[in-house]
Structure 1
């Protein structure tokens, strides 16, 4: 059984996953955890004064963040985002397991919706591929648990106040399967990558990409 986090890392860089697996402590860093925790505070943050928001690890100014939360409150699923059926739910599927940050309750004939919370910035459109792969893994595991199809998931960026949808299209499911195969195949250091992913990784020293200026395989 492969963790969601391993599949997401493999989608980004299998060599990064190889080094991450060798770490004794793979806990989420405190700053990332603090940003993730913002996803459980939307109602309070939407009406918080500037002084309160400035003390939080936001990636937007208080005014911009409040505008984003106002748009978030216009979503049909906002009430379920603010008060989900389950929080930090451990789910085990046929191939993967891990924690789903939120499970939004079913509505009518529609199935439940898993959400993945990211402490980072979203791209201009959609979501980053590792997060998309993790969202697909979460949806497939939840579908296995509930014994029903789960055709979509959400990725939340709470330090920005944005939520993006991931549909389980043929293309996205194929990317998930590639990442799953890559994660399962690792038994030694995979080949190095040679692009901008190397500029912000914690494993530059071990990886040996000496010509890079910061790190080596984004985490």
Structure 2
């Protein structure tokens, strides 16, 4: 059984997952926790004054952040985002387990639930980063396993920006999930190095031998 967080690391860099497992590194920095917590405070933040917002770990100016939250309130699922069916719920599927930040009830009684992944980082221009898409597929599959029904989509929330993106479980997304799952299961010794832009700020770069960017750095 693979943790959701391990699966996301495997999608980002299997070698980083190897070091995280070896060092039993499952800690979440306080700043990351603070940014995740913003996802549970949208109504109070939407009209918060500048002074309040400046004390928070948001990634936009107060005015831009309020505009983003105003747009968020126009979503058809906004009421369910701020009042989900479940919050921070542990879910275990056939292959993966971990915390699902929110489970939104279906729009109608017969519609499937919509799980969410909360990211403390910055979204790409379009869509979501692949590790977050893989994690979104994993949580959707775990909820589907529990409910014994198909869950065709999930959401990724970027609360420090005030943006929510959809991830549909397409053939391509599910293939990326399976690749990450195989990579996570196969790790015994250090996987091959990945020498590219992911490595520049990696927590393990000194022992890994590469010199560029980390999964954790995307979360900051």
TM-score range with shorter-chain normalisation? over 0.9
Name the structure 1 match of 2:28. 28
The answer (yes or no) to whether the contact 2:77–2:107 under 8 Å persists in 1 is no
Q: Secondary structure of 1:191's match?
A: coil
Q: How much has 1:216 moved relative to structure 2?
A: 5.2
Structure 2 SS opposite 1:200: coil
- Which residue does the alignment assign to 2:58? 58
Inter-partner Cα distance in structure 1 for 2:213 and 2:52:
36
5+ residue gaps, structure 1, are none
What do residues 89-142 of structure 1 show as CA deviations (whole Å, max 9, x unaligned)? Answer: 000000000100000012322100000000000000000000000000000000
CA distance in 2, matches of 1:200, 1:155: 24
Equivalent residue number for residue 38 of structure 2: 38
Note the 1:134-145 alignment, pairs <5 A: 134-145=135-146
Q: Is the Cα–Cα contact under 8 Å of residues 93 and 145 in structure 1 kept in the other structure?
A: yes
Q: Deviations over 1:185-216 (max 9, x none)?
A: 0000000011111112111112122xx2xx55
- Match for residue 215 of structure 2 among 212, 215, 218: 218
Q: Distance in 2 between matches of 1:184 and 1:217?
A: 21
Q: Which residue of 2 aligns with 1:7?
A: 7
Q: Per the alignment, in what secondary structure is the counterpart of residue 60 of structure 1?
A: coil
- Aligned pair in 2 of structure 1 residues 217, 54: CA closer, same or farther (>3 Å)? closer
Equivalenced residue count is 215
Q: What is the CA distance between 1:217 and its match in structure 2? A: 3.7
Q: CA deviation at 1:47?
A: 1.1
Q: Determine whether 1:117 maps to 2:118.
A: yes
Which TM-score applies when normalising by structure 2?
0.96
* CA deviation after TM superposition for structure 1 residue 23, in Å: 2.1
After superposition, the Cα gap between the structure-2 partners of 1:157 and 1:112, relative to the gap in structure 1 and judged at 3 Å, is same
TM-score w.r.t. length of structure 1:
0.96
Secondary structure at 1:90 match in 2:
strand
RMSD across aligned C-alpha pairs, in angstroms? 0.9
CA pair 83-217 structure 1, distance change in 2 beyond 3 A? same
Deviation of 1:25 (Å)? 4.1
Question: 1:199 touches 1:218 (CA, 8 Å); kept in 2?
Answer: no
Q: Over residues 129-182 of structure 1, what are the superposed CA-to-partner deviations in whole Å (9 max), with x where a residue is unaligned? A: 000000000000000000000000000000000000000000000000000000
Q: Residue 73 of structure 1 corresponds to which residue in structure 2? A: 73
Q: Is the 8 A contact 2:100 2:139 kept in 1?
A: yes
Using the TM superposition, name which of 26-35 and 115-124 deviates more.
Answer: 26-35
